[in-house]
Structure 1
Amino acid sequence: MPELSAGDTAWVLTSAALVLLMTPGLAFFYGGMVRAKAVLNMLMMSFLCLAIVPVVWVLWGYTLAFDGTNGGVIGGLGKFGLDGVGLDSMSAAPIPEFAFVAFQAVFAIITVALISGAIAERATFKGWALFVPLWVTIVYFPVANWVWGGGWIFELGALDFAGGTVVHINAGAAGLALALVLGKRAGWPQQPMRPHNLPFVLLGAGLLWFGWFGFNAGSALGANGLASAAFVNTMVATSAAVLGWLLVDVVKQRHSTTLGAASGAIAGLVAITPACAFVTPIGAIIIGVVAGAVCALCVGLKYRFKYDDSLDVVAVHLVGGVVGTLMIGLLATESFTGGAEGLFYGGGVDLLWRQAVAAGVVIAFSFVVAYVLGILIDKTVGFRVSEEEEVDGVDLNVHLETAYELTSTSAGPSRGLPEPASVRAETTQGA
């Protein structure tokens, strides 16, 4: 039995902490992009994932994802509640299994949090609180098993180093489904719905970029050359994607925007995630430029097809995840993969079709399940706030708070806040 590596363990635990930071980073990224009356709700949707998912993960998530595989579809229940995971037990890498549990837990947290951007400013908090554990259980845990737990995508030979299919395609497809279930925001697209705080957006993007080194390089599960290569590829692909997005900005509207730079960085991070350990740095730059430009162009699809994806989860995460996943089939090189090669390196279309199958099945599975869950939740506890509550602002009506104190008064039990729509309605009915 190999000995535990203190260095590898330290790196994986550090990477887990970096990835955990990504969810608050996402909260600020999304929070800055919504209008001022919905920023607290946007922050809370991410923080609720931090509260729910770790508990679910320890109880049954880890065992369903990584306790072997049954028919290539789902793990067993032998490690329910982390039963059998001891201080001396090891994962496949020379690190404690507890370190692997922690590292994979933070991936599950941010994956479901990504979905929230598609339904910003109009979802009920109770509906979201119900969706989170249901979706991670029915969708995320099985897909993680398919790709990383020895399931059918792993057996197919499709490559996903750090989460192109498991995280980004998965979340993007679910976001599209929920956007369709909840419908358009009041006034969209006629009314401008601009970001209320672009410094928040850049802060969030910076925190995500910082944490993403743990996301990608940490997936090597060791402090080694593979982690170093993933680190470099993550760095240059992200930089190239910012340039690709800004180029589209300049061509389309003759201005380079702050929101475009931040969005380009996220698009590059998304696209390089599945490929970061399978391509050369030149390949990473190509992936970044392509992802930045393509994702920027795809933002306009929601206006053409009339679906209100509030914060462009589809254009950035679904499209970016597909770009990165498919480009492995073009740019993967044997010197990095240890075997498989992409089309541009003489491997033909063998790897490309495998990547396409993996992406296509995850899109279909996640979309259908999320759509059904969204309908069921909406018909039972309710998944969309009323139009009056939405117009007033979900912060006030859902959380009884506002992010910014815009008046100087503080008298009374409400501390100067206006009454939420629900309270006004009860008062009117009582009269």
Structure 2
Amino acid sequence: MNTGDTAWVLVSAALVLLMTPGLAFFYGGMTRAKGVLNMMMMSFGAIAVVGVLWVLFGYSAAFGKDVGGGLLGNPLAKLGLQGVLDTGKTMPLVGTIPEIAFVGFQAVFAIITVALISGAIADRAKFGAWMVFAAIWVTVVYFPVAHWVFDLNKDANGNNTGGWLGQGLGVIDFAGGTAVHINAGAAALALCLILGKRKGFGKDPSHRPHNMPFVMLGAGLLWFGWFGFNAGSALGANGVAGYAWINTLAAPCAATLGWLLVERLRDGHATSLGAASGAVAGLVAITPACSAITPMWAMALGLLAGVVCAMAVGLKFRLGFDDSLDVVGVHLVGGIIGTLFIGLAADPNSPAAGQGLFYGGGLELLGKQAVGAFAVMLYSFIVAYVIGWIINKTMGFRISSAHESAGIDISVHAESAYDFGGRVSGSFHPLEENPAWQHETPARTESKVDA
């Protein structure tokens, strides 16, 4: 055991956990004033339900001994983390860190992946239905996909006992472009289709972000935590962590510039929402590639992601699906871009040691990356759609039209984020008119193209 490596991984795990409250601010600021608490509660709900399931059987399902040809770890092998804590005189290790530290680090990845999905269904989903969806989806989608991508174990004879994508096929995904972002983005698209559009989608100006300082704060916390997300995935305080760290700086910087340039040319103004969204798009794209490409290529990838994602978020208006906070346009599209870019620009001298097309590697690596990206996307979309459809037909997934008009914070949680009228939060009747909602201050108008 290396104490420096262990300390870095534990700090990184704390940074990644901070990303979910950061996401709550990022998403919360982008919603209407009467939906901000519900949006933030969906992130905190994900922390609660995923944390419990991870300890019970999630870690075992993702990193237990393979029982299905690279498809799933044995969920009973380390049930309740048995064996991980049965240490005797020597703690079980993953590389140079205690396995229990690795358990914690991977737990926060599962948490934020589920939380990411919630942004697509803002203002209209029942909180109880969301919690049920989160519990089922993380069990039947995230835990297996984490095994596919992140479990790189081999037995004493060198035989693969890990996942079919990362260990078996050789897909490069350093920190979760497939398992986190494509996975969450595909599930988000499925739920958009299940729940349908918000009332007034594309027409009601009250759907504009209500608190841009929240959005900027959330983006800053996400970026701060992302250094733990990416550099922490080196599982050591070493040069690989440094390599991933600098790419996690370079790519989102370039992506921010790319997104703002698109806004300036398309809409005539660069916005704070665009700056925050561009940074996140760059972070998404560099996540799988941060150990595989040089910093120069990282900036090229960031610029590409910023431009493409800025244009992709407007497709929801043309295609007619209501992805409230652009989870599909940023996380699904950005995750695919980053995953495929590895097949083009992977440097053989990088820590990942892949050989992309631009370095004479041909199409082999690009093909593997494409298989990884689209296998995860299809699996997550199909299973999420089935789960969402069943929940919708049984307990109902969407709040009533009257409650949506009154505001989901009041109707579901009996609370209001802002008390402009001097009344106590939580004192409103679910269908009572709240004068405060008449004073929402939109952060910016929708772009002309989007409108």
TM-score for both structures, normalised by structure 1: 0.95
Determine if contact 1:326/1:355 at 8 Å carries over to the other structure.
yes
The alpha-carbon deviation at position 167 of structure 1 amounts to: 0.1
Q: 1:103 aligns with which of 97, 102, 105?
A: 105
Closer, same or farther: CA 409–110 of 1 in aligned 2, 3 Å: closer
Work out the CA distance in 2 between the residues paired with 1:178 and 1:394.
Answer: 18
1:406 deviation in Å?
1.9
Please state if 1:153 is matched with 2:165: yes
Partners of 2:431 and 2:391 in 1: how far apart? Answer: 22
- Counterpart position of 1:68: 65
Task: Give 2:154's aligned residue.
Answer: none
Cα distance in 1 between the residues matched to 2:105 and 2:61: 16
Aligned to 1:363: 377
Contact 2:415 2:428 in 1 (8 A): no
Number of corresponding residues = 416
2:400 to 386, 396, 402: 386
Matched with 1:227 is 241
RMSD between aligned alpha carbons? 1.3
| C-alpha deviation, 1:91, in angstroms | 3.5
Counterpart in the other structure of 1:194: 208
| Residue pairs, 1:288-303, within 5 angstroms | 288-303=302-317
Task: Kindly provide the CA deviation profile for residues 233-274 of structure 1, in whole angstroms up to 9, marking residues without a partner as x.
Answer: 000001010001001011101111000000000000000000
Partner of 1:9 in structure 2? 6
Residue pair 1:29, 1:203 contacting (<8 A) in 2 also = yes
Aligned equivalent of 2:139? 137
- Does 1:167 find its partner at 2:177? no
Aligned-partner residue type, residue 361 of structure 1? A
Aligned residue runs from structure 1 range 337-356, under 5 A: 337=351, 339-356=353-370
**One-letter identity of the residue aligned with 2:415:** E
For 1:281, the equivalent position in structure 2 comes to 295
> What does 1:201-350 align with in structure 2 at a 5 Å threshold?
201-337=215-351, 339-350=353-364
Give the CA deviation at 1:201: 0.1
Contact 1:212–1:269 (CA under 8 A) maintained in structure 2? yes
1:405 to 394, 419, 424: 419
Contact 1:16–1:106 under 8 Å retained in 2? yes
1:51 aligns with 2:48: yes
For residue 431 of structure 2, the aligned residue among 407, 421, 428 is: 421
How much does 1:68 deviate? Answer: 2.3
Letter of the structure 2 residue corresponding to residue 173 of structure 1: A
Q: 1:265 to 1:338 in 2, by over 3 A?
A: closer
State the alpha-carbon separation in 2 of the partners of residues 25 and 169 from structure 1.
Answer: 20
Which stretches in structure 2 are left out of the alignment for 5+ residues?
152-161, 434-451
1:41 equivalenced with 2:64 (yes/no)? no
Matched residues in 1 for 2:48 and 2:105: separation? Answer: 16
C-alpha deviation, 1:338, in angstroms: 5.2
Shift of 1:340: 2.2
The unaligned stretches of length 5 or more in structure 1 are: 424-431
Deviations 1:43-91 (A, max 9, x none): 1000011111111001000000001222110001210110111243333
User: CA deviation digits over 1:128-165, x for unaligned, max 9?
Assistant: 01011100000000000001112110211111000000
**Structure 2 residue identity aligned to 1:74:** L
Residue 409 of structure 1: how far off its partner (Å): 4.1
1:429 is aligned to: none
Q: Which stretch shows the higher mean deviation, 337-346 or 313-322?
A: 337-346
Q: Secondary structure at the match of 2:93?
A: coil
Please tell me whether the aligned partners of residues 42 and 115 of structure 2 are also in contact (alpha carbons under 8 angstroms).
yes
Per the alignment, residue 185 of structure 1 pairs with 198
Distance (Å, rounded) in 1 between the aligned partners of 2:301 and 2:93: 31
Deviation of 1:337 (Å): 4.2
Q: Which residue of 2 aligns with 1:428?
A: none
**Alignment partners' CA distance in 2, 1:117 and 1:214:** 22
TM-score by length of 2: 0.91
The alignment-based identity, stated in percent, is 62
Amino acid paired to 1:182: L
Change (3 A) 1:338 1:276: closer
Partner of 1:79: 78
Partners in 2 of 1:346 and 1:338 — Cα distance? 16
> Which whole-Å CA distance do the structure 2 matches of 1:126 and 1:194 have between them?
25
**Secondary structure in structure 2 of the residue aligned to 1:358:** helix
2:441 alignment counterpart: none
8 A contact 2:123–2:407 mirrored in 1? yes
